């Protein structure tokens, strides 16, 4: 038995956010508010996800609430 469960609405929101991010091409921009509207997740959650993708090298933060899709550089 899992220790916690995630609401189907939250799971669907993460699925929508994932699809939105997968559809971005290098150089495309996304705003936190846009990600929140499209996914149904809060702006706080979307900001945290985009900041995590920035740390991973997939996104660059253009300003406080705007991110740009980067090319992944493989070593």
Q: Are 30 and 24 in contact (CB under 8 A)?
A: yes
- Does residue 53 form part of some domain? yes
The reported pTM is 0.84
Q: Convert the pLDDT of each residue in 8-35 to its tens digit.
A: 678 899 999 999 999 999 999 999 999 9
Q: Which domain holds residue 13?
A: 8-69
d(CA 46, CA 36): 6
- Does residue 58 form part of some domain? yes
CATH number for the domain spanning 65: value is 1.10.10.10
- Does residue 52 form part of some domain? yes
């Amino acid at each position: 038995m899992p220790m916690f469960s995630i609401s189907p609405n939250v799971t669907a929101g993460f699925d929508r956010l994932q699809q939105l991010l997968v559809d971005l091409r290098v150089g495309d921009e996304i705003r936190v508010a846009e990600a929140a509207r499209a996914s149904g997740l809060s702006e706080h959650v979307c900001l945290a996800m985009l900041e995590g993708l920035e740390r991973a090298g997939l996104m660059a933060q253009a300003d406080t609430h705007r991110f740009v899709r980067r090319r992944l550089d493989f070593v």
